Chain A
Amino acid sequence: MRPLARQELPTKAVFYSKDTSVSHKIMASASEDVETTRGDGGESPNTKDDEKKEESLLECNICLDTAKDAVVSLCGHLFCWPCLHQWLETRPNHQVCPVCKAAISKEKVVPLYGRGSTKQEDPRDKVPPRPAGQRTEPEPGNNFSGFGFGDSGFHMSFGIGAFPFGFFTSTFNIGEPRPNVGPHGSPQYMEEQFLSKVFLWLALLFIAWLLYA
């Protein structure tokens, strides 16, 4: 956990030092002194101190408490969703990250789901639910393979001609690609081959019977 703190503090200082206003310079020096005190604490073998530091890494930047219904801004700063929501509501025309003043918005925060985080959700009457995480489905593989009718999607057959001689038929197949043919050598493949042969012979027998009848 400690390298995280190390990384975060200097970036703050860099940001503030870019800005020329007095107050920001002060913030830079303030965060530097936070860094030094943290560094000192790290050297001592005091486990209580270490625990405290690790906890403070997961504290909301607004209420200074452990973040509940945690969300992270795209600039990487952690907040409770109710806290951040109220901050955004306070200044709807000027939505900036309280820590680094980067532009943020309700749509551009990422919720953090820890283990069992859904259980401890408290009923919040006026705060809207925190935005849901976005999940995109993986692209379906483009493995269309030729013959056989699938059992999904929409199929339409269309033909001209007397019953047995349906030679001018066409098939519309709209929707999902057909299910894959089983890989070569697998039991599914063998079965399919067998069935297709059986039906081919049946069809030929049927045609022959019609001709001779």
Chain B
Amino acid sequence: MAQNINPFLEQQTTGIVKENDISKRPQSDSHAVTKRLHKELMTLMMSPDKSISAFPEGENLFRWIGTIMGPKDSVYETLKFKLSFQFPNSYPYTAPLVKFITPCFHPNVDTNGNICLDILKDKWSALYDVRTILLSIQALLGEPNIDSPLNALAAETWSKKDDYHKYVMDMYKEVQIN
């Protein structure tokens, strides 16, 4: 169990708190989160879909690395993107923090890899999981939301396919993790 502790919780435990006090409530919560994350990992591993994958980063179940292939018939088609997932202790009641690790030129992704996607913000539902998030982001790559851009340049050039393609390729570089 020790390795599956939420980083947020870890910070708390290093404080003044006594052993008995901390473990009562948060542990039962984080146990439920761990259980759900385990289930999600199982379904992802059983899934026949080769274009998306995700796995916990190291020993901590609260941090995952996800991979998506660019959607077919889009500028991103041959590209592989890595994303980081950070699950809060309140998961799945609140959305995980999802970021692009691989630099991605896209109207709804900023230069730090932050993603603007409704289901990760106000439209989040406890029903969504890593798989559906990955599928959503994959689809977002092919169908950007031009009206609320994080990257204004990408939003402007979206209609000019050749320029856009060049930008995407300039920015893209494969990232190796461990």
Contact = CB atoms under 8 A, between A and B. Distances in A.
Contacts of A26: 132, 135-136, 139
Interface residues of B, number: 28
Nearest to B118: A23
B73 to A, nearest CB: 15
B55 to A, nearest CB: 18
A96 B25 CA distance: 26
A208 to B, nearest CB: 86
Interface stretch (A2-10, A61-69, A171-179, A190-198): A61-69
A207 interface: no
A103 interface: no
A99 B125 CA distance: 7
Interface string A16-27: 000001110111
Contacts of B169: none
B126 A23 contact: no
B161 interface: no
B97 interface: no
Interface string B119-135: 10001011101011001
A63 B126 CA distance: 8
B126 A22 contact: no
A99 B127 contact: yes
Nearest to A62: B126
B39 A90 contact: no
A205 interface: no
Interface string A46-68: 00000000000000011111000
B40 interface: yes
A101 interface: yes
Given A23-B119, A27-B132, A90-B90, A62 B139 contact: no
A14 B45 CA distance: 28
A121 B94 CA distance: 27
Contacts of B166: none
Question: Which of A22, A61, A96 is most buried by chain B, counting CB atoms within 10 A of its CB?
Answer: A22
B145 interface: yes
B132 A63 contact: no
Given A26-B132, A27-B132, A63 B139 contact: no
Interface string B83-95: 0000000101110
A79 to B, nearest CB: 9
B127 A90 contact: no
Contacts of B40: 64
A86 interface: yes
Interface of B: 25, 32, 35-36, 39-40, 48-49, 90, 92-94, 117-119, 123, 125-127, 129, 131-132, 135-136, 139-140, 143, 145
Interface of A: 21-23, 25-27, 29-30, 33, 37, 61-65, 83, 86-87, 90, 96, 98-99, 101, 126
What are the 7 tightest A-B residue pairs by CB atom distance, in nearest-first order? A90-B93, A98-B126, A98-B125, A62-B126, A26-B139, A23-B119, A98-B127
25 contacts: A21-B118, A21-B123, A22-B136, A22-B140, A22-B143, A22-B145, A23-B119, A23-B136, A25-B139, A26-B132, A26-B135, A26-B136, A26-B139, A27-B132, A29-B135, A29-B139, A33-B49, A62-B93, A62-B127, A64-B36, A65-B36, A87-B93, A90-B90, A90-B94, A126-B25
Given A22-B140, A26-B135, A63-B92, 20 more contacts: A21-B118, A21-B123, A23-B140, A27-B136, A29-B139, A30-B132, A62-B126, A62-B127, A63-B36, A64-B39, A64-B40, A64-B129, A65-B35, A65-B39, A83-B126, A86-B93, A87-B126, A90-B93, A98-B125, A99-B125
